[in-house]
Amino acid sequence: MDERRDPQPGDESPRRPVAAAVTLPPVQQAWSRYATHTLACPACRDIDQRCEESGRLYRAWQAQADAAYRRLRAETA
Ligand SMILES: [Zn+2]
């Protein structure tokens, strides 16, 4: 049986708290906007409806991801 112990120096919790002031990279911000929208939008949740905003946010995320990939490729080439 494991006994609870105080954190030791060098212990790294996999889920440490994130400071509120931290800003996500643009790719993650774009994905967050898309996911937040689709979870809350009635049209996105209805399989029989189309949502132009969702498509726009998804394409914006794709553009950010493509740009990040191109930058990474240029840096490692
Ligand atoms: Zn929507």
DSSP string covering 14-77, please?
Answer: TT----TT----HHHHHHHHHHHHHHH-HHHH-TT---HHHHHHHHHHHHHHHHHHHHHHHHH-
Instruction: Measure the CA–CA gap between 59 and 67, rounded to whole angstroms.
Output: 12
Question: So what's the pLDDT on residue 22?
Answer: 78
Distance 41 CA to ligand 1 centre (A): 4
57 touches 40 (CB < 8 A): no
Residue 7: inside a domain: no
Residue 32, domain extent: 26-76
Distance 62 CA to ligand 1 centre (A): 17
Residue 17: inside a domain: no
Residue 32: inside a domain: yes
Distance 38 CA to ligand 1 centre (A): 5
Q: Output the pTM of the full model.
A: 0.67
> How many distinct structural domains can be found in the chain?
1
Residue 31: inside a domain: yes
44 touches 37 (CB < 8 A): yes
pLDDT band at 20 (very low <50, low <70, confident <90, very high): confident
Residue 36: inside a domain: yes
Question: So what's the pLDDT on residue 23?
Answer: 85
Residue 37: inside a domain: yes
